[in-house]
A and B are shown apart, each in its own frame.
Chain A
Amino acid sequence: MSRLRSWFLVPAWLWMGGLFAAPFAIVLAYSFLTRGAYGGLDLPWTLESYQRLADPLYLSILLRSFLMAAAATAICLVLAFPLALFISRSGRRRNLYLQLVILPFWSSFLVRLYAWLFLLRDTGLINTALQALHLIREPLPLLYNDGAVLLGLVYGYLPFMVLPIYATLERLDPALLEAAADLGARPFSALWRVTVPLSAPGIRAGVILVFIPCLGAYLTPDLLGGGRSVMIGNLVQNQFTTARDWPFGAAVSVALMAVVTLLVVLFLRRGEEAL
């Protein structure tokens, strides 16, 4: 029986080996090579790309990306928790609401970001409507700033926060809340002291699912930020394209992955201790 069970893991191993381990090994190898005279890769092996990472310029970009990702995650959490709670308590309509949360995934993220461009620009829907209502004279600068990038990140990753929180709330035994009420807890106090702690696994999963892709985001800052501010993803992309410095691009990717892994491990361990 256990022989058979191990065979079930073959597709997963092939997937991880072919699509994660092998590419990662290639990226790791690239990061220790030298940039070719006109791009591409050359020998000798070197640590130079990692030494360049210590440059305050690149550290400041990393810090900025962390702040942006943290802000986007916090906003997602604040928006997603009440929404997940609402859905988990809406009886037969649950499935409909869940479908609505997933609905944006039916079209490509790129197309949806372009839709935001059309909403936010000077002659876009929002500014045109506000001007038609005589609420503003000059169009508001909604596009090409950090606010627009943050909006795009929150918009893009909100479902990844809603779904795991919903999953834990849905399994929450209503009897626990009744017990809290019987013991004299007011609804808000029961929410804060019973529901929130019990949904912690969902919140943790949501935070990780939102924070990591936000940290590496490059499409959103590129399109909605108008290239005026860089996040770490744009730095990596630029190294592989315009700058033609694959070793440095690879080193930035590896460093980012190392930092993310470290954070996730710490975050999960703290979560386990709390239980």
Chain B
Amino acid sequence: MNRRVFLAGLGVLAACGPSRPRLNVYNWSNYIAPETIPAFEAEFGVRVRYATYESNEEMLAKVLSGNSGWDVVFPTHNRIPPMRHYGLLAPLRHAWLPNLANLDARFRSPSWDPGLEWSVPYMWNATGIAYSRGVSPAPAAWANLWDPRLKGRLTMLDDPEDVLGACLRKLALPFSSTDPDELRRAAREAIRQKPLLRAYLNAEVRDQLVAGDVLVAQMWSTTAQQAIDASPRLAFAYPAEGFPLYLDNAVILRESRRQALAHRFIDYLLRPRVSATIAETTRTATANAAAQALLPASIRDNPTLYPPPEIFQRGIWPAALPAAAQKLRDRLWTEIKAA
């Protein structure tokens, strides 16, 4: 290689190096469409480093350092108060987010961030009951998951918040209870249910529902819809006692040195067409009303992904838990698991 070629090469490297800014986006896995990022890069002349995580804890463990290298992440709504408490979030400039107007009215003033000063609702999901239509009567309430006839064909999620929450609602107690007596009563319900359970399974149960090994499962609506797509024998119920709703949100980290670009990215995600493509590919409920209007009727009217208003209003937004309650819940969860 002679010197001129080498220098020319350096020039090319320089041109696509520092002059093209890079945005770092850390999102849940399977939470975006394949074309979302390339189209953004092409339109804005930037590069995006995109990586995925499987749980809020995985993301928080990295971001808590305040020096993680990420600009935009997608915490669930009840992680937003803790992230603010630790000073991890940058305030949003609404002037840079004109597409906020596309949001569904139900998500415009949430209790955890009433003015959307820190977070932009992205996609949401609920926990309910996935079941085989052969089960009679069809489960319609958490209390139905204690039916001895389901022994060995029933699973609960491997998640203390959802399991204790279902037990608390069965007892007509608050889903996000922090009261030690109430929590102990809920744990007793869970221990009473354990002999009926096949296992505590998360997404892995999907294949076993489809295969027919499992007849009834506590399940997230998005995962349940994937199982229903694979087997029309399956259905999903939103329990009568109330059920948890989980909303994931785009936030900008305070550590980010690309605040303007991060805003541009979030505003891009709020475009109706972009958001609709994501919602259609991932088959997850979008918080964007304008995008919902663009979806094919088969998805828009899907009762599992988008429950009708009279069901949606039974939904409960799980709250961030104080340390003492979290500690007790974990001890009770270990007790349930060891029982």
Q: Contact between A245 and B197 (Cβ–Cβ < 8 Å)?
A: no
Q: With A226-B199, A242-B57, A244-B57 in contact, is A57–B85 under 8 Å at CB?
A: no
Count of residues in B whose CB is under 8 Å from the partner chain: 38
Contact pattern, B 321-339, Cβ under 8 Å of A = 1, otherwise 0: 0110011001101110110
Q: Could you give, for residues 48-60 of chain A, a 1 whenever the CB lies within 8 Å of some chain B CB and a 0 otherwise?
A: 0000000001101
* Known A226-B198, A228-B197; contact A57-B211, beta-carbon cutoff 8 A: no
B60, closest chain A residue (CB): A39
B160 CB-CB contact with A under 8 Å: yes
Q: Any chain A CB within 8 A of the CB of B64?
A: yes
Known A-B contacts A144-B198, A144-B199; the reply to A123 vs B211 at CB < 8 A is yes
* Cα-based distance from A227 to B204 in the complex (angstroms): 12
Contacts of B182 in A (CB 8 A): none
B200 CB within 8 Å of chain A: yes
Q: Which residues of B contact A58 (CB under 8 A)?
A: 334
Q: Mark B170-214, 1 if CB is under 8 A from A, else 0.
A: 000000000000000000000000100111110010001001110
Judged by a CB distance under 8 angstroms, whether B159 is at the interface is: yes
Q: Which residues of chain B come closer than 8 Å to A223, judged between CB atoms?
A: 204
Q: Separation in Å of the B152 CB from the closest CB of chain A?
A: 7
CB-CB under 8 A for A39 and B334, given A227-B200, A244-B326? no
Q: Which residue of A lies closest to B156 (CB)?
A: A227
Report the contact-size class of chain A (Cβ under 8 Å from the partner): 35 or more
A238 touches B60 (CB 8 A): no
Taking the complex as formed, is B104 at the interface, i.e. its CB lies under 8 A from any CB of chain A?
A: no
Chain B: minimal CB distance from A104 (Å): 22
Bound CA span A245–B199, Å: 24
Contact (A38, B334) CB under 8 Å given A226-B198, A228-B194, A241-B57: no
Complex interface: chain A residues within 8 A of B158 (CB): 227
Q: Closest approach, in angstroms, between the C-beta of A46 and any C-beta of chain B? A: 14
In the bound complex, do residue B55 and residue A38 qualify as a contact, i.e. CB atoms below 8 Å apart?
A: no
The answer for the CA separation of A151 and B204 in the assembled complex, in Å, is 20
- Which of B81, B197, B326 has the largest count of A CB atoms less than 10 A from its CB? B326
Residue of B nearest to A41 (CB): B64
Decide if A40 touches B64 in the complex (CB within 8 Å).
yes
Q: Which of B59-76 contact A (CB under 8 A)?
A: 60-61, 64
Q: CB-CB < 8 A to B152: which residues of A?
A: 141
Beta-carbon contact of B60 and A229 below 8 Å: no
Q: Is the CB of A226 within 8 A of B57?
A: no
Contact across chains for B200 and A230 when beta carbons are under 8 A apart:
no
Assembled-state Cα–Cα distance A28/B234 (Å) = 49
Task: Scan A110-122; emit 1 where CB is below 8 A from any B CB, else 0.
Answer: 0000000100011
B21 at the interface (CB under 8 A from A): no
- B200 touching A37 by the CB < 8 A rule? no
A120 to chain B minimum Cβ distance, whole angstroms, is 11
Q: Say yes or no: A40-B335 contact (C-beta < 8 A), given A121-B208, A228-B197, A228-B200.
A: no
Asked whether B201 lies within 8 Å of A38 as measured between CB atoms, the reply is: no
Answer yes or no: A243 CB below 8 A from chain B CBs. yes
On B, residues with C-beta under 8 Å from A are: 55, 57-58, 60-61, 64, 81-82, 85-86, 152, 155, 158-160, 194, 197-201, 204, 208, 211-213, 320, 322-323, 326-327, 330-331, 333-335, 337-338
- Which A residues have a C-beta under 8 Å from some C-beta of B? 35-40, 57-58, 60-61, 64, 117, 121-123, 141, 143-144, 223, 225-230, 234-235, 238-245
Q: Please list 19 pairs of residues, one from A and one from B, whose beta carbons are closer than 8 Å in the complex, sorted by A's number.
A: A35-B327, A57-B338, A58-B334, A64-B338, A122-B213, A141-B152, A226-B200, A226-B201, A227-B158, A227-B199, A228-B199, A230-B337, A230-B338, A235-B334, A238-B333, A238-B334, A242-B160, A243-B333, A245-B327
